[in-house]
Amino acid sequence: AYEIVTESLAKGKNVVTANKKMIAENLAELIRLQKEHNVSLLYEGSTCGSIPIIRTLEEYYDNELLYSVSGIFNSSSNYIVSRIFKDNIDFDIALKQAQDLGFLETDPSLDLSGMDALYKACIIAAHAYGVFVKPETVLNHGIQNLNDYDIQYAKEKGVRIKTVSMVKKINDDAVTIFSMPQFIPKGHKLYFIENELNAVIVEASFSDQQFYMGKGAGGHPIGSAILSDISANLYGYRYEYKKYLNTKKMHYVTNIELEVYLRYFDEKNVQLFEFDKITERYYGPDSNYVVGTVKLENLLKHKDRLNSADVLMVWTGKWKVL
């Protein structure tokens, strides 16, 4: 896909695509090619389905002081956890239903691992803050290991588990980014976002908090975004990347601490992530868990282990800058 897009841009052709992986991994180079050949690359369909978040960030928030852009960016995983928590069905059944409805690929690993949501977060970071981040340098964790113990814990606490992506300004020149399951309490805006819906929460200085919701999976929602891009292209529309061209550059940092729940079987997995403080701990005959604080940079250091081990990590929503 990358070769086809770059070749088309180099030939002076405008391009519309929905390939979020290709965009997230190569955005800086794709912007260079657009400028060099005076062409337009539009990709609204790559991010959050039918929600026009890229164009909204480009146009409405072009000069706004953004505090954060967060939400449910992957509707496939949201469909699965919605069915589990709302309808009390098993993970495997919910997964099969999502595939049958066309919300998941035959290989669902990108959705379940949180990589799909991570690609979208990286794209949003570029349009919200002008920050280009390689996906492999950002934390992603998914719901592929979600089991009955995690579901029981969440229900006992009166919360739901949803994969949430966060792009957050932490000071005047720094942004942090991550994508992972989060405990969502009943009063939270994302609590009732069910099935194949996506949702985006934008917090800003002047416009305060705004909430966007729309379908994110299936041919029609993505098709509507692609059709909108094709129509906009006919009128000469192109992204201006104003935040990126700003003389004051933002950069990506990981110097934050998160409070997380970690369900595990092997004690080595707890020691690996170097918890700074543990506030809750449980040892059981079938599984164990801890709740505590851990540095984001430690999670990134062991990202591959985190995503390959039989563990589930869930963010409580609490964090602080170090």
Tell me the catalytic residues.
Answer: 120
* Residue 255 CB partners (closer than 8 Å, separation 6+): 295, 296, 297, 321, 322
236 sits in the region (left: phi over 0; alpha: psi -120 to 50; else beta) called left
Given the structure tokens 């039918």, which residue do they identify?
50
**Shortest CA distance to 69 belongs to which of 140, 164, 142, 181?**
164
Collapse the DSSP code of 20 into the 3-class scheme (helix H, G, I; strand E, B; otherwise coil) and give the result. Answer: helix
Place of tokens 């990347």: 241
Residue 218 to residue 240: CA distance in whole angstroms: 29
How far apart (Å, rounded) are the C-alpha atoms in residues 27 and 265? 39
| Tokens describing residue 255 | 């110097």
